[in-house]
Structure formats: structure tokens, C-alpha cells
Amino acid sequence: MSIANPTPRQIPDRLKGLPERALKSWETLLVVVMVAIFTINSFASPYFLDPWNLSDATFNFTEKALVALALALVIIAGEIDLSVASIIAISSTMMGMAASHGAGAPELVLVGMGTGLVCGAINGWLVTGLGLPSIVVTIGTMSLFRGLAYIILGDKAYTQYPDGFAYFGQGYVWWVFSFELALFAVMAVLFYILLHRTSFGRVTYAIGNNPVAALFSGVKVARVKFILFLLTGLMSGIAAVCLTSRLGSTRPSIATGLELEAVTMVVLAGVNINGGSGTVPGIVLAAIIMGLVTFGFGLLNVPGIVMSIFIGLLLILVIAVPVIAGRIGQRRKAQAH
């Protein structure tokens, strides 16, 4: 009696088709919210649908969204970086110093990106090398980097930047499509490939779900986390280039509060604050939603403090809703049994 060889079982890839599945759940909700906000804004202000006004709306989120792309990966891996705004401040300060010594636009871009990389390396080494909690480390470096900017500048400002440098924050690639928006689109595609189509993204999810199991599976957890902090520093440096170029000046208070908006953007995107889940399409949708909200508030002359209150409430809401929904689901299951 011959025994037929059993058909080998295939272990389903949890990440394969993740964007497709996600776009049927949380991302679908984000699309509905985005359409609703767009519709409300179009009725609330007669200037909202002007193409150039919509183009201006993109400046409300592109720099924060660039940071959020990298920050999302850090959070998916179970860590956090609260120093991103301060990295922007010190990167902008170093670019201002370089500009005051005659550096051209290409050199300033390299200085901004290089400073961001150094700051990211410091965060990564403290977390992965010394084993310190990332929230404690990045709160410390948040004060450190911002403090260095204040020490260097004091109450002064760098305002003398070369003419070509303005393109990165004020230029347009074509018609109403700004360089910043094009840069964000390119970076979103690259991060989508990195997170959803490479083994690096796979191990990032694995680390966020269970770092101990990932370590015993042969994943170099410390190295991956160090790279993620490097990426966050680099993207903060790139955001510093765009923001400094758009403003045309550097002050030590630049980007104050940006870390809160970046974290809100990441959480709104559906990234689990405890790690292990999240998608790049969600980041893109959340960025557009926050940009539309802040731009709509601006057209209606809503004070900035109200916007800050709204962002804070939004952060609490998007964290609380999944928790409450989970508890309701557990109660229903308990009652069913």
C-alpha cells in the first residue's frame, strides 16, 4: 500500500498583501474621512478649491509627513523618537552656520542631511548600544539638540541663504505641484517598498511584535533598530532642508511642536503605538487629512491655539478608539460564552 506524499502546507505570509487588506479596513476609513473633510472645506470657504490654494495646503503636511514616514518604522519596531523636531532645529542651525561661511545650496543640503544622520546615530547608539529606553533617550536628546541650537543662535537668526536654496521649500516641479510634494511622493514610494516589499520590512514587523522571538530567530535586532534611528535622523535632516528653505531663515525655535504632529500623524495612520503593525499608505492618507484640516482652519481664520488643541484631542482619540473597541469586543465574546 503506497502512501501518497502529502501536499506541503504553505505558511501564509502575514505581510504579503498587507496593503491590500489594510485598504479594506483602517485605510478605507481614512479615505472616507479625507473625502468628508475635503467636502466640508469646499463648502466652508469659496477659496478652498482654487488649485493654487490646494497647492499651498500641501505645505501644511509635507515636512511633517517626511519625518512621519521614518518615525512610523521606528514605532512599528516598538521604539519611539521624540527628538525629531529638535533634530530639525540643530540641522537648520548648522545649515545657517554653513551659509554664513559662504556654502552653496548643494553643500547646505549635505550639511542638513549629515547633521540629521549624526543625531540619528547618537539616538541609535544610546538605545541599541547602551540599552537605554528610547523614550527616555529621545526626551533627553530633544532637550540636548534644541539647547545646542539656542546656545549657538541665542536670540539671533540666520537669514542669509543663497538664492538657489529657496527652491527646495518654495519651488515647483510642474504647475501647482511643489518640489516638497514631489519629494514626499518619491519618499512614500521608497518607504512603501522598504516596509512592504523587502526582508528589512519583514523583520521590522517581527521585532515590533516580539523582539525576543525575533532575536532567537536570527534577526539582528540591535542593528535593525540602529538603522531605523539613522533613517529617522536622515529624514529629519531632509525636512530641515525643506522647512529652512521655505522659511528662508533659521531660529532656535524652528519646528517647535512638530514631534507631536508627527506622532499624531503616525497614530492616525493606524500604526500601533506599541509596535508590530502599520502601513505606509496609512501615513500618506493621515498626512493629507491633517494637511486639509489645518489648511481649512487657516482659511476660516481659526487661531493657532485651537489647532493645537484639536491635534492633541485627535491624538488621544485615535489612541483611545482601538482600545475601547477592543474592550467592547472582549466583553461581547465573554457574554457569548
Band of residue 155 on the pLDDT scale cut at 50, 70, 90: confident
Greater pLDDT, 315 or 142: 142
Q: What angle do CA 323, 85, 185 make, to 5 degrees?
A: 80
Burial string for 140-177 (b: 16+ CB within 10 Å, else e) reads ebbebbbebbeebbeeeebeebeeebeebbbeeeeeee
Band of residue 251 on the pLDDT scale cut at 50, 70, 90: very high
State the Cα–Cα distance between residues 169 and 239, nearest whole angstrom.
Answer: 9
Band of residue 21 on the pLDDT scale cut at 50, 70, 90: low
User: Which pTM was predicted?
Assistant: 0.87
Q: How many CB atoms lie within 10 A of CB 55?
A: 15
State the Cα–Cα distance between residues 88 and 256, nearest whole angstrom.
Answer: 9
Name the grid cell of 232.
529617522
Q: Tell me if 91 sits within 8 A of 115, measured CB to CB.
A: yes
* Residues contacting residue 151 through CB under 8 Å, at least 6 positions apart: none
Percent over 70 (pLDDT), the chain: 93
Query: Mean of the per-residue pLDDT values for the chain?
Result: 88
Q: Which domains does the chain have, with CATH numbers?
A: 18-37+46-327 (1.10.3470)
Burial string for 77-108 (b: 16+ CB within 10 Å, else e) reads bbbbbbbbbbbbbbbbbbbbebbeeebebebb
State the Cα–Cα distance between residues 51 and 34, nearest whole angstrom.
Answer: 17
- Mean pLDDT over residues 173-183, rounded? 93
Exposed / middle / buried, residue 207 (Cβ in 10 Å: 0-12, 13-18, 19+): buried
Q: Per residue in 64-100, pLDDT tens? A: 999 999 999 999 999 999 999 999 999 999 999 999 9
Q: Per residue in 86-142, pLDDT tens? A: 999 999 999 999 999 989 999 999 999 999 999 999 999 999 999 999 999 999 999
Greater pLDDT, 237 or 324: 237
SS3 state of residue 178: strand
